[in-house]
Amino acid sequence: MIIGEVVGRLWASRQAETLGGQKLLLVRPIAVKGARRVVETPRLVVAVDGLDAGPGDRVIVAHGTRVRDITVGERVADKDVVVAIVDDLELG
Amino acid sequence: MILGRVVGEVWATRKDGRLARAKLLVVRPHAFYEPAFATGHLVATDDVDAGVGDDVVVCLGQPARVSAGGENMPVDAAVLGVVDRVELDRRALDKPGPGPGIRRPLEVPFP
């Protein structure tokens, strides 16, 4: 899993059936640089949200088909899923 | 499996119910073969009561789920052991060029 910050939500009017009805979030993974230093990465992940996270939330994103299968269902075409909303992150 | 150091802990109240009893650690990999994201960290469940500062081995994927409590755990990384000692061979590390099938050499930040 990785920790990231929700930076937005994504809508698409034309989308594959397998994405239908899924809430999609744009998550920017954080990078841990040395002791206690957290910076943003230039990457964005589109993750399926089953927990009702919103912009500004820090979330834990798990990756993989199995995680996808047991959280949001086998028919969803996205392998990144939000599995937790972070309350507190303590480094070092 | 990968080798990393526990650099922190993360807490979450709103989470998948199956994670209710999971302790979640932030681990900085010492070397990570083909990382999915250049994040410098990953979050792993902890089965061995590792603490901040410990060097640990982290298992990824399906075996991590099994270790974390079953195949229906929504996790992809688990700490499986606390490392007492690591031995690296300097001659092997300094051998030029990546091995066959490896796209780029690993950087192992050990003294």
Query: Would an 8 Å CB–CB cutoff place A84 in contact with chain B?
Result: yes
ipTM: 0.83
Shortest Cα distance, chain A CAs vs residue B43, angstroms:
5
Residue A56 lies in a domain: yes
Test A89 with B52 for CB contact under 8 angstroms. Answer: no
Domain of residue B78 covers 2-85
Mutant choice from B6, B24, B62 vs A, greatest count of A C-beta within 10 A: B24
Quote the pLDDT of residue B57. Answer: 94
Q: Tell whether the model's pLDDT for residue A20 goes beyond 90.
A: no
Shortest Cα distance, chain A CAs vs residue B3, angstroms:
15
Worst-scoring range by mean pLDDT, A25-29, A88-92, B56-60, B104-108? Answer: B104-108
Residue A90 lies in a domain: no
Render pLDDT for B51-85 as a digit per residue (tens, 0 to 9).
Answer: 999 999 999 999 999 988 889 999 999 999 999 99
Q: Tell whether the model's pLDDT for residue B43 goes beyond 60.
A: yes
Amino acid at residue number A57: D
Q: What is the mean pLDDT of residues A26-39?
A: 81
Pure H helices in A52-92: 65-71
CATH label of the domain that carries residue B77: 2.40.50.220
pTM of the predicted protein model: 0.84
Burial class (CB in 10 A: 0-12, 13-18, 19+), B26: buried
Q: Tell whether the model's pLDDT for residue A58 goes beyond 70.
A: yes
Residue A73 lies in a domain: yes
Q: Tell whether the model's pLDDT for residue A35 goes beyond 90.
A: no
**Residue A60: closest C-alpha in chain B:** B43
Worst-scoring range by mean pLDDT, A9-13, A47-51, B10-14, B60-64? Answer: A9-13
Residue A25 lies in a domain: yes
Q: What is the mean pLDDT of residues A31-44?
A: 77
Burial class (CB in 10 A: 0-12, 13-18, 19+), A43: middle
Q: What is the mean pLDDT of residues A25-40?
A: 82
B29/B63 Cα distance (integer angstroms): 18
For chain A, how far is it from start to end, CA to CA, in angstroms?
19
Q: Give the nearest partner residue to A32 out of B13, B28, B61, using CB atoms.
A: B28
Residue B91 lies in a domain: no
Residue A92 lies in a domain: no
How much is the mean pLDDT over chain B? 84
Tally the domains of chain B: 1
**Do residues B79 and B67 make contact, with C-beta atoms less than 8 angstroms apart?**
no
Test A29 with B42 for CB contact under 8 angstroms. Answer: no
The DSSP call for residue A74 is T
Burial class (CB in 10 A: 0-12, 13-18, 19+), B51: exposed
Residue A45 lies in a domain: yes
Worst-scoring range by mean pLDDT, A9-13, A70-74, B16-20, B52-56? Answer: A9-13
Tally the domains of chain A: 1
How would residue A85 be classed by pLDDT, with cut points 50, 70 and 90?
very high
Q: What is the mean pLDDT of residues B31-36?
A: 65
Test B12 with A87 for CB contact under 8 angstroms. Answer: yes
Domain of residue A30 covers 2-85
Test A85 with B14 for CB contact under 8 angstroms. Answer: yes
Quote the pLDDT of residue B33. Answer: 64
CATH label of the domain that carries residue A59: 2.40.50.220
Residue B104 lies in a domain: no
**Residue A84: closest C-alpha in chain B:** B15
Quote the pLDDT of residue B111. Answer: 44
Residue A91 lies in a domain: no
Residue A69 is inside which H or E element, if any?
A: helix A65-71
Could you tell me how many CB contacts below 8 A there are between chain A and chain B?
109
Residue B107 lies in a domain: no
Residue B33 lies in a domain: yes
